[in-house]
Homo-oligomer: A and B are copies of this chain.
Amino acid sequence: MAKELTSRSENYSQWYQDLVIKADLAENSAVRGCMVIKPYGYAIWEKMQAQLDKMFKETGHVNAYFPLFIPKSFFSKEASHVEGFAKECAVVTHYRLKHDDETGEIIVDPEAKLEEELIIRPTSETIIWNTYRNWIHSYRDLPLLINQWANVVRWEMRTRLFLRTAEFLWQEGHTAHATMQEAIEETEKIINVYASFAENFMALPVIKGIKSANERFAGAIETYSIEALMQDGKALQSGTSHFLGQNFAKAFDVTFSNKEGKEEYVWATSWGVSTRLMGALVMAHSDDKGLVLPPKLAPVQVVIVPIYQKNEQLAVISAKVDEIIAKLKAKGITVKYDDGDNKKPGWKFAEYELKGVPVRLAMGPRDLENGTVEIARRDTLQKSVVQIEGIENYIENLLDDIQSNIFNKAFEFRKQNTIKVDTYDEFKEALKKGGFIYAHWDGTSETEEKIKAETKATIRCLPLEFEEEEGVCIYSGKPSKRRVIFALAY
């Protein structure tokens, strides 16, 4: 094989790291904790962005752009917000470099110190709500439904490509509403958009739910999330939507006059998904041979490799391949023809398996004679020989089938790795295997913290879909009316 991967069973974490790097998705940069997103990885992210952006616009949102910098004083205005983010901020203190007169080296000019330090945005609620104050006067100015695509910085100490990096790319929606009800509806609308994107495009089954107080966004009244299960049995929070109440409106004095002419504070939501989704995509579906990409997000959906010994053969094969390419492109399918002569077919096969190209066609002289082509699907690695006649319809259906199959496989995996437990012993036993654990909880932060301290497991969410059920907390034995989901998490 072209580039050897660590296997998942040997070391899942190392497998992930190897795969991200060897499949050319991203790599660590010279700057601590910051990644370089390489063209192949970025092409997947662009597909995610395009689809999400379309979904945001279809639900009435528009894009805008707010400053990278947040004055330190803004940051401090919402108490729990600063508490949540102050420990991991990149701080700009100076605005000029100069030559050191003595050494001749480039140094920070001590005379160019900012009066007030600027924080690189870890999230933009504060600068945006400070701006909204001037945009909102009357109920007629509401709702504001604004999204921004941007980079953000959180100075994490332990970083992993895509999953946790000091700088990452994301979108952050920030909406303003006249009523609490409308803001809550927006929060829920967006978590549904995220779930629909994850399931229909990433082929990633997710559970929608509400976070416990401990796991809530700093400054939110309620945080909704989508939670996905990775192949190692750990959960990955894949998107969050926050109902912020009037917290930021109060911190930044954003009021509006309602229909009765009375001044009220504005209601807020914020919501985001990030390049972390790239990590989820990789970890949910890929295997020991490399990436397995859902066709809807694959930068190349079909790769065609010619098999030949003589150049005359290549010319004939290429002529036939050109016809196939034209038919596939007419269907909107992305095709790459790799007729490069410096690698052997076997090397190419391994390379495109590593890159997760959903469908591979191979065509040799015998195929040409028979009017056939060999098709290999990446998800199952199955091969079959198919007539060239009508190949475009065959592949169109095959891509749909692969998309569904990848989802179904992940769905089945989640099913197999979801368990209900009723005692703390069962709980600890279940954690060894991993997966989603449905258990009763007494609703207190205290219990949640103790369980976390003892087992590292956290409450992923209180699922939106649930059945009321009498039970007792696995830890405290106190009464509980519903199960919540625990898991080890990224």
Q: Are A92 and B91 in contact (CB under 8 A)?
A: yes
Which of A31, A37, A66 has the most B CB atoms < 10 Å from its CB?
A31
A62-B42, A167-B68 known; A98+B118 contact, CB < 8 A: no
Q: Are B127 and A65 in contact (CB under 8 A)?
A: no
Query: Looking at the complex, which of A72-80, A222-230, A300-308 is the stretch in contact with chain B?
Result: A72-80
B-chain residues with CB within 8 Å of residue A67 when the two chains form the complex? 29-31, 34-36, 167
Cβ contact of A68, chosen from B34, B86, B106, cutoff 8 A: B34
When C-beta atoms are compared, the residue in chain B nearest to A39 turns out to be B62
B-chain residues with CB within 8 Å of residue A146 when the two chains form the complex? 39
B-chain residues with CB within 8 Å of residue A250 when the two chains form the complex? none
**For this complex, into which size category does the number of interface residues on chain A fall?**
35 or more
Q: Are A130 and B95 in contact (CB under 8 A)?
A: no
Q: Are B97 and A72 in contact (CB under 8 A)?
A: yes
SS class, residues of chain A in contact with chain B = mixed
Q: Are A64 and B37 in contact (CB under 8 A)?
A: yes
The distance in angstroms between the C-alpha atoms of A146 and B24, with both chains bound, is 14
**Does residue A87 face the partner (Cβ distance < 8 Å to B)?**
yes
Q: Are A65 and B106 in contact (CB under 8 A)?
A: no
The distance in angstroms between the C-alpha atoms of A473 and B88, with both chains bound, is 59
**Does residue A140 face the partner (Cβ distance < 8 Å to B)?**
yes
A95-B90, A167-B68 known; A117+B127 contact, CB < 8 A: no
Q: Are A97 and B92 in contact (CB under 8 A)?
A: no
Q: Are A86 and B72 in contact (CB under 8 A)?
A: no
Chain A 102-135 interface 0/1 with B at a Cβ cutoff of 8 Å (1 = within): 0001101000000001111000000100110000
Q: Are A63 and B39 in contact (CB under 8 A)?
A: yes
When C-beta atoms are compared, the residue in chain B nearest to A72 turns out to be B106
Q: How far is the CB of A27 from chain B (nearest CB, A)?
A: 8
Q: Are B342 and A140 in contact (CB under 8 A)?
A: yes
**Does residue A94 face the partner (Cβ distance < 8 Å to B)?**
yes
When C-beta atoms are compared, the residue in chain B nearest to A149 turns out to be B149
B-chain residues with CB within 8 Å of residue A457 when the two chains form the complex? none
B-chain residues with CB within 8 Å of residue A131 when the two chains form the complex? 29-30, 36
- Residues 328-343 (chain A) with a chain B CB within 8 angstroms: 342
B-chain residues with CB within 8 Å of residue A70 when the two chains form the complex? 31
Q: Are B88 and A96 in contact (CB under 8 A)?
A: yes
Q: Are A155 and B36 in contact (CB under 8 A)?
A: no
Q: Are B95 and A118 in contact (CB under 8 A)?
A: no
**Does residue A69 face the partner (Cβ distance < 8 Å to B)?**
yes
When C-beta atoms are compared, the residue in chain B nearest to A106 turns out to be B76
Chain A 130-160 interface 0/1 with B at a Cβ cutoff of 8 Å (1 = within): 1100000000100000100011010100000
Cβ contact of A108, chosen from B31, B93, B140, cutoff 8 A: B93
A64-B39, A71-B30 known; A82+B106 contact, CB < 8 A: yes
B-chain residues with CB within 8 Å of residue A97 when the two chains form the complex? 72, 75, 82, 86-87, 89, 91, 119
Pairs A–B under 8 Å by Cβ, sample size 19: A31-B67, A31-B70, A31-B127, A36-B65, A36-B131, A46-B63, A75-B97, A76-B105, A82-B97, A82-B106, A86-B98, A86-B106, A88-B95, A90-B118, A91-B93, A91-B94, A93-B94, A97-B119, A140-B342
